[in-house]
Chains A and B, each alone.
Chain A
């Protein structure tokens, strides 16, 4: 099952190819996302800024196939994704929500949780990978036994990020991952992301929605803006 979606060693090809993708709100009267053409190449680091409610999250959620588009299609490595492979697709194109959702239990329970899912197949939790990632965020091994309910907002965000990055997705869709964080935690998140991106040697890519223009510049090689559902190239820089 996993094999049919796995990377085909085409490190240079488009990972995502999106044509005329649009979304409507529940009433069907308002366009949350205007018809959008978009190509995500391997190695791309893209930041998206824009007013809140402009459709940045909508775009990321639609790319992760979490919400149904009104029109258009999404090609993953040039092929459409059949319904039954959508969970596997989401392990390759992973959406990280703005508000981290942790399950009951310890940090370790949370990091192990994804490996209970069917679409991860035979992949197993690797403690040294997980502790290595946590160490990059300045967390010691004792952090693993901390109950999820006792974590601060910043710590929760780091756990959610490590939980996703350890699965080594090819594409990450970050939805304001540092919005509620102090500068120190934000720096930890940025360095974790940079580490995951560099480890892919040009085969990975991400979209980063940010409210902070400074961060957007720092974390991207291409800067887009979202304006009332319209995705545009940033003009000022």
Chain B
């Protein structure tokens, strides 16, 4: 088996497939032509850019190149995790970035140094894709967790205040909401782990197989990644929910619901 490189002509043929979407959009009057056009352009431009950047980073594998790049990736993930949900509070951005950063870096470090034993520690061929996969899932978990937490706190306000009024501590008042939020954050990963291999073949494994790696070895990598992702999203969700809790409940055991504001 050899690896078939794709030429620009091959890509152009693939790109014409978007006309299927365009034709459907016109025929069914979906009004999506503009969006389709821009989405296609963005796919090409963003991926080409990433390809060039990664190529350059791999060629210049120094820690002072890799470190800023992975910091930037983490920061972007943290910021996008903060952008969801109907309500927000002052400090949500910081809480998201801190949760995404601490959980994904901790888990990635275990994967890269304890399991894969990469050398040097910043080896970009491993560090960047593996951290990237953990980040992508952690950011979803963190944003779902915070969103669910604020939602539960708003809808459960009367019950929370009832528990406080009867002598409950701030944690006793918040724990039902916190538990729901952590569950919500972990759910996508759990679902994915249940059906992986049966309903879907994960992208990384597919990629390794296409690149000529034997399936059994690709599967081992995929198993490791699944567990890294599971741990990263679980930790990230718990951190995010605890930080949200600290922002919205004072040390005097008061529920400061007025700090939750509708996103504008």
A residues at B contact (CB < 8 Å): 26, 64-68, 83, 86-88, 90-91, 94-97, 99-101, 103, 113-114, 117-120, 160, 163-164, 167
Contacts and interface: CB of A to CB of B under 8 A. Distances in A.
Contacts of B164: 66, 87, 90
B162 A97 contact: yes
Contact of B166 (A65, A94, A100): A94
Q: Can you list the 4 inter-chain pairs with the closest CB atoms, starting with the nearest?
A: A91-B167, A101-B158, A101-B162, A119-B167
B166 to A, nearest CB: 5
Nearest to A2: B167
Interface size class of B (residues with CB under 8 A): 10 to 19
B129 interface: no
B247 to A, nearest CB: 15
B253 interface: yes
Interface string B151-168: 000000011011111111
B158 A91 contact: no
Contact of A90 (B158, B165, B255): B165
Given A117-B166, A117-B167, A117-B168, A83 B161 contact: no
B254 A66 contact: yes
A123 B118 CA distance: 57
Nearest to A96: B165
Contacts of B258: 26
Contacts of A119: 167-169
A164 B168 CA distance: 13
B166 A164 contact: yes
B165 A64 contact: yes
Contacts of B162: 97, 100-101, 160
B159 A103 contact: yes
A113 B167 CA distance: 11
